[in-house]
Structure 1
Amino acid sequence: MSPLAEVLSQSALHDVIGLLVKVVEATGALIIFAGTVRAFVQFVRAGARGRGKVAEFTRIRLGLGQFLVLGLEFQLAGDVLRTAVAPSFAEIGQMAAIAAVRTALNYFLGREIAQERAEIEKGGTAAPSAGADSPPHRAS
């Protein structure tokens, strides 16, 4: 293969990767945006119905957190793609720093989601069921 063909191939590969990076990052941004809009609509509806309870807001936060985690994963995938073809040391360092921050965000968001979900499942912040005015340990 001639040097010119090699350069054109690498240039074309960079162009294709650049397009893929834009698509993947745009997808991540759209996921985060969709989750934010969804959470806002749920928040407004809960307030309008007068159901502004802690359990309702916790469920909204959990839903938003899931969108954020997924969107951040797409953003990280875009960063990995960006450095897939002949990265420089500067690009590798920059990607490592970005990956570390996004991974930490994902970790803490995921941990908070798991804790909130466990809290809801055991009834800590869940809305009380109908007719549960008295404590369950009431002696007869």
Structure 2
Amino acid sequence: MPSSEPSFLLVFDQGLATLAMALRSVLEALSLGTVLLGLLITLRQAWQGWRARRRGPSSFQAVRLTFGSWLAMALEFQLGADIVATSTAPTGAHLVQLGVVAVIRTLLNVFLARDLEAEASHRSLSPEGRP
């Protein structure tokens, strides 16, 4: 029965590759959906701020931080998709793509966290920043 073992491994590898491809597609779709949902929520927040006549740097900063948070979440999904792709077919292009997404995600998260802390301290110091 030595001939059945290689065919079993081949079927298993093909099934694993198919599963990985499906998982990557799901993660990429979640990434796109997150960007779209974040855009819609951000536009709604901007519209509400405009209708309430809350214009200025604080309102703009809040809208920017909202969208930045959604983008960071989308990059998390994209990073997951790239990890799956790289683990199943580790080509040089996949490794570069994974590295680029990881660097962008890390930088975005660092700057987003810094901006969130600055906004929180600004709101706690200014009386008009309180809800």
The two structures have a TM-score, normalised by structure 1, of 0.75
Match of 2:119 in 1: 116
Question: Contact conserved, 2:24 with 2:85, CA < 8 A, in 1?
Answer: yes
Match of 1:127 in 2: 128
SS in 1 for 2:44: helix
Going from structure 1 to structure 2, the CA distance change for 1:110 and 1:26 (only over 3 Å counts) comes to: farther
Match of 1:74 in 2: 77
Going from structure 1 to structure 2, the CA distance change for 1:49 and 1:90 (only over 3 Å counts) comes to: closer
Q: Which amino acid letter does the alignment assign opposite residue 88 of structure 1? A: T
Mark the structure with the bigger radius of gyration. Answer: 1
Q: How big is the alpha-carbon RMSD for the aligned residues of Structure 1 and Structure 2?
A: 2.3
Runs (4 or more) in structure 1 with deviation over 6 Å come to none
Going from structure 1 to structure 2, the CA distance change for 1:91 and 1:104 (only over 3 Å counts) comes to: same
Q: 1:102 aligns with which of 85, 99, 105?
A: 105
Distance in 1 between residues matched to 2:68 and 2:13, nearest whole Å: 39
Distance in 2 between residues matched to 1:46 and 1:69, nearest whole Å: 23
Going from structure 1 to structure 2, the CA distance change for 1:128 and 1:118 (only over 3 Å counts) comes to: closer
- The number of residues matched between the two structures is 127
Q: CA deviation at 1:78?
A: 1.2
Distance in 2 between residues matched to 1:128 and 1:95, nearest whole Å: 39
Structure 1 residues without counterparts, runs of 5 or longer: 130-140
Question: Contact conserved, 2:65 with 2:112, CA < 8 A, in 1?
Answer: no
- Which string of whole-angstrom CA distances, capped at 9 and with x for unpartnered residues, describes residues 5-49 of structure 1? 212211111111111111112112211211111111121222123
Question: Contact conserved, 2:82 with 2:94, CA < 8 A, in 1?
Answer: no
Distance in 2 between residues matched to 1:69 and 1:128, nearest whole Å: 25
Distance in 1 between residues matched to 2:59 and 2:104, nearest whole Å: 30
Distance in 1 between residues matched to 2:19 and 2:83, nearest whole Å: 14
* Structure that is richer in helix per residue: 2
The two structures have a TM-score, normalised by structure 2, of 0.79
